[in-house]
Structure 1
């Protein structure tokens, strides 16, 4: 089978299918290393918001719960294979106003009713944390099973372990898909072609252009996000109990006195300097230590948001053709559940081609 796209979704699907015993070819212009600057996967911060999701039922909730379980399983398997993925458990959501506080209080009660471990920390507990949290935090909801993992390390682990199991990485660009004689033909820019009974399209914003000639309109909108890595003082090391979310902004402690800060939500392809300034200052709530931190790296990436459809797009479009795209801000979180969905569809054999 052929997987198109070597972002976190394509790599997870290719690795999982190869591990299940399938022969997989992963096609991407840059399959052997990090995705190009500006891609969604390279810009991801890896925050896993599963149990603090605002809903407690439906497809999105089920996918998040499945992914949390699978990430725990997959990290253990990758570690045994010598490919550990750095992971920081726990997530602390802060309330910046009375409305947000009421939402977190209700969320805590609903999760506790489901038997999930979740704690509401009042302001005195937040004030005791060092370094200081953003100005104006009224309370915080601590979710121990959510957290953050390093997306680039996860992608490298999928790539390396997959190759040891026979995963083939093809550095090329897919130009067209066509059904021929009960088989999918994948035309490559370099002039070669691949044939397979199953094709998985996980090419992010490039997916619609491959599908439209087949009559499948799945428009995706680019949403730009700016993020940065900051150098901070030694007071942050091992101080916070988890990554922190403030007004939708993630603050992720990193090794060697670093902090990831991000990300903005900007329509289109061009970064807005004013959005970056607001992010850098936490919209006026940055504590002194954060305002003084030095920017080591500032980048941006494009996330694919489905137009008129809920994210993500997990669909069997026709026999042997699967779409895994449009994960928007949750690509890292939902990568395992997306891969498992594809594996389940393939395992049933419904609608598969024979390539005879």
Structure 2
């Protein structure tokens, strides 16, 4: 049950035929990925976010992410969601090689094991494996006896599972740091300020961005990747794309002495919507909950009952997990679109692109989203320049 990964040839980003000035609002994993790709292609990019010069704030969606990439094991076999996931998995593989060649390592653990709670679910997994095999993709059904041989022991109640060697887990914060560092080397400009309003310049193919600090920016291309902040900026223009916050809590645990290292598992574990991610040094990430936030302040919104259920895997946690010590507890808000599937990828007006609302798949879908943005800019390029006083 190995988890080999094909090593693609390093392919540098193609240079844009008509490099453009672009402002990207939002420095989460999607905004950073977009800024990095555009800068790599030769565009002049300014990344706008109050948190751009410091770690992600605790309420940010990227702060809640565990970085699981579920593409091959995705239950659907067609449609936009399927295509985005497969393309993103391919791009992450290529991006990791490009960034590592530039001296920026992205911590990656291949392999994902999705557990089945009953015989019907395992039968569905077996059918999915057969369907993927017809596409030339490898998924391996594992019966209960194969799961019983794994150490440390898996959650009780699992009757089987489906192993994907090509899916896996990418550590989100180091990945974002690598994208940021490489983009800065390539000339990315950071604006540590909040955008308070956007408007299209009358008679010009340019967008004007007002900043909380009193400055302003102008550019022919504006990419909105600010998650829950997007509706406030877009609503005055008549673009109604509501997004609601969904809170997620996660834990980092230190396993008891003598517990087998979970890094011996074939990969990360997905069980009933909860992810168990092996970490170095006998540690484990556990998350994340799905909670509608109740109100302010942010730290008081999280549900203690939801956290307790997460900690105990809703009553299915093995003894070694119950005995683990909590090292860290964190949470974040994911932006879920209302009335539309995630993510929101739309050209709203000439030069105005919405790339937001990724909900639980921001890390997975960041590369395909960035590529979508780059393709829109290439298709409608303008030769205007950035100006302003940030």
Q: Same fold (TM over 0.5)?
A: yes
Alignment of 1:131-170 (within 5 A): 131-170=152-191
Q: Which position in structure 1 is the counterpart of 2:358? A: 327
One of 267, 283, 287 as aligned partner of 2:292: 267
The Cα offsets for residues 139-197 of structure 1, whole Å up to 9 and x where unpaired, read as 11000110001000110001100000000011000000011141111100001110100
Q: Does 1:114 align with 2:107?
A: no
CA distance in 1, matches of 2:276, 2:163: 14
Q: Identify unmatched segments of 5+ residues in structure 1.
A: none
Q: Which position in structure 2 is the counterpart of 1:185? A: 208
One of 116, 129, 142 as aligned partner of 1:95: 116
One of 55, 58, 63 as aligned partner of 1:37: 58
Which portions of structure 1, spanning 4 or more consecutive aligned residues, are displaced by more than 2 angstroms? 352-356
Q: Identify unmatched segments of 5+ residues in structure 2.
A: 1-21, 295-300
* Change in 2 beyond 3 A, CA 1:133/1:237: closer
Deviation, 1:355, is 5.9
CA distance in 1, matches of 2:79, 2:375: 19
* Change in 2 beyond 3 A, CA 1:355/1:83: closer
CA distance in 2, matches of 1:238, 1:277: 24
Residues 38 and 374 of structure 2 are in contact (CA less than 8 Å); yes or no, is this contact kept in structure 1? yes
CA distance in 2, matches of 1:140, 1:318: 45
Q: Does 1:222 align with 2:245?
A: yes
Q: Which position in structure 2 is the counterpart of 1:296? A: 327
Q: What SS does the corresponding residue of 1:217 show, helix, strand or coil?
A: coil
CA distance in 2, matches of 1:197, 1:7: 22
Deviation, 1:307, is 0.2
Deviation, 1:35, is 1.0
Residues 33 and 156 of structure 1 are in contact (CA less than 8 Å); yes or no, is this contact kept in structure 2? no
One of 156, 166, 172 as aligned partner of 2:193: 172
Residues 249 and 264 of structure 1 are in contact (CA less than 8 Å); yes or no, is this contact kept in structure 2? yes
- TM-score scaled by structure 2? 0.89
CA distance in 2, matches of 1:144, 1:32: 36
Q: Which position in structure 2 is the counterpart of 1:311? A: 342
Q: Does 1:20 align with 2:41?
A: yes
RMSD between aligned residues: 1.3
Q: What SS does the corresponding residue of 2:39 show, helix, strand or coil?
A: helix
- TM-score scaled by structure 1? 0.97
Residues 263 and 279 of structure 2 are in contact (CA less than 8 Å); yes or no, is this contact kept in structure 1? no
Deviation, 1:4, is 0.2
Residues 198 and 353 of structure 1 are in contact (CA less than 8 Å); yes or no, is this contact kept in structure 2? no
One of 122, 125, 128 as aligned partner of 2:149: 128
